């Protein structure tokens, strides 16, 4: 009975259509495509953090391939107060980092992907101003990595689709 169940489960799982992103015949194309993405400069400290995180993730193969794609990114970083105490002081903040990005084919100047990615984090505001500023900075660093991860996943999916169409 167990054998039949395992056999049926394995057949159902194989029919689900899930495939590894970076393995198999299309995986090398996705990894190579990511290595061919050049990230345009992004203004501000948040832009510097996101650009570095993107470059770390895109150059995962260690390849110094000539750029075939350009990634243009515009960021919106905001900090808003959430919790307000009786004396009108803020006790909790929310930091939001949103990115609008376009993947552009350099040769044809065609936009292959136009999308957004974002993330947010909650920050406790404490009596020490230094601790609050440090928490805000740490939140920005974590958000930059998270937004970069989301962008790379979307770009990987787009490059995989393009590879399957060829």
Domain of 92: which CATH number?
A: 3.30.160.150
Is residue 129 packed enough to be buried (19+ CB in 10 Å), middle (13-18) or exposed (0-12)?
exposed
Contact partners, residue 119, CB within 8 Å, separation at least 6: 96, 97, 143, 146, 147, 150
Express each pLDDT in 72-119 by its tens digit: 999 999 999 887 777 877 888 999 999 999 999 999 999 999 999 999
pLDDT of residue 59 exceeding 70, the answer is: yes
Total count of domains within the chain: 1
As a three-state string, the secondary structure of 7-58 is: HHHHHHHHCCCCCCCCCHHHHHHHHHHHHCEEECCCCHHHHHHHHHHHHHHH
Residue 4 counted as domain residue: no
Q: Which of 9, 83, 75 is nearest to 40 (CA)?
A: 75
Among 39-43, 64-68, 92-96, 161-165, the range scoring the smallest mean pLDDT is: 161-165
Boundaries of domain holding 67? 26-165
* pTM of this prediction exceeds 0.85: no
Residue 11 counted as domain residue: no
Residue 10 counted as domain residue: no
Among 15-19, 110-114, 139-143, 145-149, the range scoring the smallest mean pLDDT is: 15-19
Residue 61 counted as domain residue: yes
Residue 84 counted as domain residue: yes
Q: Are strands 90-105 and 110-124 parallel, antiparallel or unpaired?
A: antiparallel
Answer for the pair 120, 159: CB distance below 8 angstroms, yes or no. no
Report percent pLDDT > 70 for the chain. Answer: 82
Average pLDDT of the segment spanning 54-83 = 86
Residue 1 counted as domain residue: no
Residue 7 counted as domain residue: no
Cα gap 77→82, rounded to integer Å = 16
Residue 33 counted as domain residue: yes
Mean pLDDT, the chain, rounded, equals 85
- At residue 32, the pLDDT reads 83
- At residue 26, the pLDDT reads 47
Answer for the pair 72, 166: CB distance below 8 angstroms, yes or no. no
């Amino acid at each position: 009975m167990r054998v039949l169940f395992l056999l049926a489960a394995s057949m159902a799982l194989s029919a689900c259509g899930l495939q590894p992103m970076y393995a198999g015949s299309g995986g090398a194309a996705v990894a190579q495509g990511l290595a061919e993405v050049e990230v345009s400069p992004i203004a501000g400290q948040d832009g510097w953090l996101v650009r570095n995180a993107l470059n770390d993730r895109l150059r995962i193969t260690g390849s110094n391939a000539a750029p075939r794609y350009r990634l243009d990114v515009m960021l919106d970083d905001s900090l808003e107060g959430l919790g307000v105490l009786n004396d009108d002081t803020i006790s909790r903040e929310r930091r939001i980092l949103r990115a609008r990005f376009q993947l552009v084919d350099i040769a044809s100047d065609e936009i292959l992907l136009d999308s957004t990615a974002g993330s947010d984090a909650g920050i406790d505001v404490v009596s020490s101003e230094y601790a609050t500023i440090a928490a805000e900075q740490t939140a920005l660093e974590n958000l930059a990595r998270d937004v970069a991860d989301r962008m790379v996943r979307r770009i990987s999916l787009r490059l995989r689709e393009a590879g399957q169409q060829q």
